[in-house]
Amino acid sequence: QKEVEQDPGPLSVPEGAIVSLNCTYSNSAFQYFMWYRQYSRKGPELLMYTYSSGNKEDGRFTAQVDKSSKYISLFIRDSQPSDSATYLCAMKNGSGNTGKLIFGQGTTLQVKP
Amino acid sequence: DGGITQSPKYLFRKEGQNVTLSCEQNLNHDAMYWYRQDPGQGLRLIYYSQIVNDFQKGDIAEGYSVSREKKESFPLTVTSAQKNPTAFYLCASSTRRVDEKLFFGSGTQLSVL
């Protein structure tokens, strides 16, 4: 079993839809949770960064962490064609020099005009 | 503009040949990383370096080598011992050692002739 599981999709939605992207994990020691966005044949860019359970909002994006269920989500409101990309979840235990960043497989999202 | 520059964008390797991928950053970051990305497998860590003249193996270091002679540069050599080198290679850096907030380059696609 992989430490981090993410449905690769592809996920196709109409413009304006609310998108929900999810990851589950097995290591209860994970404390830091991130979402990266990767456009085709480009490097990933950090989208959201959270520590601890709860919600964090940034514009149209909301990151949600549920440590009790070992489940994280990224919600995109009013989705746009420019949101079409692969979304990678990543997580890490420890802090500073300890721990290792573990990436999910990535979910490919297509937002149709 | 500050950032990470990877070159070349595309690279072809002949059987038995060693090839070197370049990664340069002007962000004044201490830590640098090399990841390999294959379809459906997310990002896998090859090597990372926390400081000049020091580097550590990641999860899939076999068949690869690196050097860190300058803070700005972290080249990756794919040796002939790497039997399945076709992949998208990503270089990243971060402000703190083994930090989770990674900044990525635009990647190098390596293919075998």
Please check the confidence at residue A73 and state whether its pLDDT lies above 70: yes
Number of Cβ within a 10 Å radius of residue A43: 22
Do the chains contact at A43 and B4, CB–CB below 8 Å?
yes
Chain B contact for A77 (CB, 8 A cutoff): no
pLDDT for residue A95:
58
Q: How many CA atoms lie within 13 A of B106 on its CB side?
A: 7
Do the chains contact at A96 and B96, CB–CB below 8 Å?
yes
Residue of B47, B98, B100 to mutate for A, most A C-beta atoms under 10 A = B100
Q: How many CA atoms lie within 13 A of B31 on its CB side?
A: 19
What pLDDT band is residue A29 in, cutting at 50, 70 and 90?
confident
Q: How far is the alpha carbon of B104 from chain A, nearest alpha carbon, in Å?
A: 5
Please check the confidence at residue B19 and state whether its pLDDT lies above 60: yes
Rounded Cα–Cα distance for residues A38 and B105 (Å): 11
Do the chains contact at B104 and A6, CB–CB below 8 Å?
no
Chain B contact for A96 (CB, 8 A cutoff): yes
Do the chains contact at A105 and B102, CB–CB below 8 Å?
no
Chain B contact for A99 (CB, 8 A cutoff): yes
Q: For residue A40, which phi and psi values (nearest 5 degrees)?
A: -55, 125
Do the chains contact at B43 and A103, CB–CB below 8 Å?
yes
Per-residue b or e along B96-109, where b marks 16 or more CB atoms closer than 10 Å to that residue's CB = eebbbebbbbbbbe
pLDDT tens by residue, B37-72: 998 778 999 999 988 999 999 999 999 999 999 999
Chain A, residues 16-75, CB within 8 A of chain B, namely 32, 34, 36, 41-46, 49
Rounded Cα–Cα distance for residues B49 and B61 (Å): 13
Q: Which residues of chain B neighbour A32 with C-beta distances below 8 Å? A: 100
pLDDT average, residue stretch A56-60 = 95
